[in-house]
Structure 1
Amino acid sequence: MTESNLADAATGARGGAASAPASRIRLMVSDVDGTLVNKAKEVTPVTVEAVRRLHAAGIAFAAVSARPPRGMKLMVEALNVDLFGGFNGGSILRRDFSIVEEHFVSPDAVRAGIAMMKPRGASIWVFADNEWFITDPGNPYVAGETRTVAFQPTVVDDFGDHLNRAGKIVFSSTDFDMLAQSEPELQALVGAGATARRSQAKYLDMTPPGTDKGHAVRAFARHYGVSLDEVAVIGDMPNDLPMFEVGGLAIAMGNGAPEVKERAHFVTLTNEENGVADAIDRFVLPRAPRG
């Protein structure tokens, strides 16, 4: 079956952009949750082997996530990545966790966001100073997030001075509609002080201003000396769309949100079906540099 036929069967052409998919790829950038890892938050052996095939073909690999950098340690080790980004691109780090770039949410934006979202019933999580601070350990999502980031939150009565050095603020709620409705309002409120986007239906994140996953892709491309039209990107949620706007080849996960699939050149399998490995073999490796 030709790639075109595969695209029609699994996937479909990119609906939200006029550009054709890149013909040559030298770097692949992946989202993590819902993409690179399965529901158990594992990088499967199938994915590890696929990334090794990428490297053997001369294609670099990097990852960016809404997670705090500390919560990406297992992924970094499993895939031996040289460069990765946390907080939706607010922090860029090397494999040894030394910092390339680090940005913070404006303290004024932090306080304004909390003042808006707390009365709406959102739980507030503050990621700062390499820790995760919460005031409500009974929140239904704390246990799952602990498994995801692989470290325990610190329970506090007050966030105090940590609000001045926040890499990410998360507003979590079981009221998904409220979070969706709040997203544009929150962005309008905080303006240039933060980027406000949902990373999952249950999470509305504030991350450093001017930094998103598109910013991370640009940073990775500079590091590897690769032009943006030679970058393949893959993700599943709306906060991955800034990657789609800058990469030369955009791939959506089979479990991705409808708006993400609409903006992709191709759609791969789900994260429970090793969708990243499938995308590597079907869409990226055929575009490996030759000679």
Structure 2
Amino acid sequence: MAGNGQNRHGPDRPPASRIRLVVSDMDGTLLTPDKQITAQSLSAAQALQAAGIPLCLVSSRPPGGIEMYFDQLKINTPYGALNGGTLFNPDRSIRSSLSLDPQTVLDALDMLAASQVEAWLFSGHDWLVRNTLDPLVQAESRTVQTTPTQVTDLKARIHNIGKVAGSTADHATLHDLEASIGHKLAGRACVALSSKWFLDITPLHANKGYAVHQLAAYYGIGVEEVACIGDMTNDVPMLSIAGLSIAMGQSTPDVQACAHFVTGANTQEGWARAITDFIFPRTGSSSTQFL
């Protein structure tokens, strides 16, 4: 059900009646498939700001890939990179970070290599790759406007790693690895697809639910007053705890099952509709001048 009523297949807990913070995913959610923010979404974001409701972004992206949209959105709020494992202050300094155990990094690198999946390492503002000329590396570098550092041996850089990412155009292999690596690293790491091209391996408690708790604490509110919007498996930890959870229209049934509402797809102004249909009426603002 998109944009016209509560999701009857959603969670048992009722949606919040008052929202004081919005936390949004980016790719597949706020952004269109060509990584743009529509005019309607910008208007919706500005309406939130006018109503005094902060908008915070949490993404699997490295920090630079999030910061590149701040001027356009006209926001200056804390944000979560690397699936929420590293939180940044509004001045872009690191607020808190979680790291994988070095042995877990080694095990993840070995499992990705065994399936011929290229591995990337992320630590704070740094992105480490084996080959900067790899097509997926170059495509991602353009997307997130971040230049990676080429290293000969990733296994020599296993300390203070916030995320291991597996990247391949073999989507079926990556889907299978989500389950197999997730099983092998159970209790040591979170393993989830962030897109059909990327498998993210992050510290056990470094997920978007953790980020939502941290961001809510920053504003001195409870998670029951937070609205979250997302579309992928890695968004489930935040959708599962938010006072108001909204899944994008193109998301899978498993993701939609965690959401109070399902909005339109990111090709159909789904993010803007989520703000205007489900969130804005719960902000306590009397203004109707948006979109």
Residues 140, 223 of structure 1: alpha-carbon distance in 2 compared, 3 angstrom cutoff: same
Correspondence for 1:26 among 17, 20, 29? 20
Equivalent position of 1:39 in the other structure: 33
User: Any conservation in 2 of the 1:123–1:139 contact (CA below 8 Å)?
Assistant: no
1:14, distance to aligned residue in structure 2 (A): 4.6
1:152 alignment partner, SS class = coil
- Please tell me whether the aligned partners of residues 128 and 166 of structure 1 are also in contact (alpha carbons under 8 angstroms): yes
Residue of structure 2 in register with 1:75 after alignment? 69
Tell me whether 1:101 sits opposite 2:85 in the alignment: no
TM-superposed CA distance for 1:139, in Å, is 3.6
Q: Which residue of structure 1 aligns with residue 11 of structure 2?
A: 17
Amino acid in structure 2 at the alignment position of 1:193: R
Find out whether 1:279 has 2:274 as its counterpart. yes
Provide the C-alpha distance between the structure 2 equivalents of 1:121 and 1:26, rounded to a whole number of angstroms: 45
Question: Offset of 1:167 from its aligned partner?
Answer: 1.5
Q: Tell me the equivalent position of 1:270.
A: 265
Does the CA contact (< 8 Å) of 1:30 and 1:235 recur in 2?
A: yes
Aligned partners of 1:45 and 1:162: how far apart in 2?
42
Which deviates more, 110-119 or 47-56?
47-56
Of the structure 1 ranges 28-37 and 95-104, higher mean CA displacement relative to structure 2 is found in: 95-104
Q: Which amino acid aligns with 2:59?
A: S
With 211-220 and 33-42 compared, the bigger mean Cα shift is at 33-42
Moved over 6 A (4+): none
TM-score (norm 1): 0.91
Which SS does the other structure have where 1:141 is aligned?
A: helix
Paired residues of 2:104 and 2:185 also in contact (CA < 8 A): yes
Q: Deviations over 1:49-83 (max 9, x none)?
A: 21111122232211100011122111233221311
**Aligned residues with identical type, % of pairs:** 37
Q: SS state of the match for residue 111, structure 1?
A: helix
**Which residue type is aligned with residue 174 of structure 1?**
A
CA distance in 2, matches of 1:159, 1:31: 28
Task: Give the SS at the match of 1:246.
Answer: coil
Counterpart position of 1:181: 176
Report the AA paired with residue 25 of structure 2. Answer: D
What TM-score results when the alignment is normalised by the length of structure 2?
Answer: 0.91
RMSD: 2.0
Task: Give the Cα–Cα distance (whole angstroms) in 2 for the partners of residues 112 and 179 of structure 1.
Answer: 16
Are 2:54 and 1:60 aligned? yes
Deviates more, 1:130-139 or 1:87-96: 130-139
CA offset at residue 231 of structure 1?
A: 1.0
Contact 1:197/1:239 (CA < 8 Å) preserved in 2?
Answer: yes
Is 1:50 aligned to residue 47 of structure 2? no
Distance, in Å, in 1 between the alignment partners of 2:2 and 2:96 is 42
2: CA distance between counterparts of 1:150 and 1:76?
13
Alignment match of 1:154 (pick from 145, 149, 154): 149
Q: Is the 8 A contact 1:90 1:102 kept in 2?
A: yes
| Cα drift, residue 144 of structure 1 | 2.3
Q: Contact (CA 8 Å) 1:195, 1:207: kept in 2 or not?
A: yes
Trace 1:112-191 onto structure 2 (pairs within 5 A).
112-128=107-123, 130-191=125-186
Give the whole-Å Cα distance in 1 for the aligned partners of 2:42 and 2:107: 42
Is the 1:129–1:162 Cα contact (8 Å) retained in structure 2?
no
Instruction: Kindly indicate whether the alpha-carbon contact (under 8 Å) linking 2:166 and 2:198 is maintained by their aligned counterparts in 1.
Output: yes
The residue type paired with residue 4 of structure 2 is: A
The amino acid across from 2:92 in the alignment is F
Task: Say if 1:252 and 1:39 are closer, same or farther in 2 by CA, change over 3 A.
Answer: same
What secondary structure does 2:267 align onto? Answer: helix
Aligned to 1:244, which of 218, 239, 242? 239
Q: Deviations over 1:34-58 (max 9, x none)?
A: 1111222223333222111112223
- Structure 2: unaligned runs, 5 residues or longer: 287-291
Q: How many pairs align?
A: 285
**Does the CA contact (< 8 Å) of 2:233 and 2:255 recur in 1?**
yes
Q: Take 1:14 and 1:27, find their aligned partners in 2: how far apart are those partners?
A: 24
- In structure 1, the gaps of 5 or more residues are none
Distance in 2, matches of 1:38 and 1:290, equals 28
Alignment match, 1:233 = 228
CA 1:252–1:81: 2 relative to 1, 3 Å? farther
Q: 2:4 aligns with which of 7, 17, 32?
A: 7
- Tell me the secondary structure at the aligned position of residue 259 of structure 1: helix
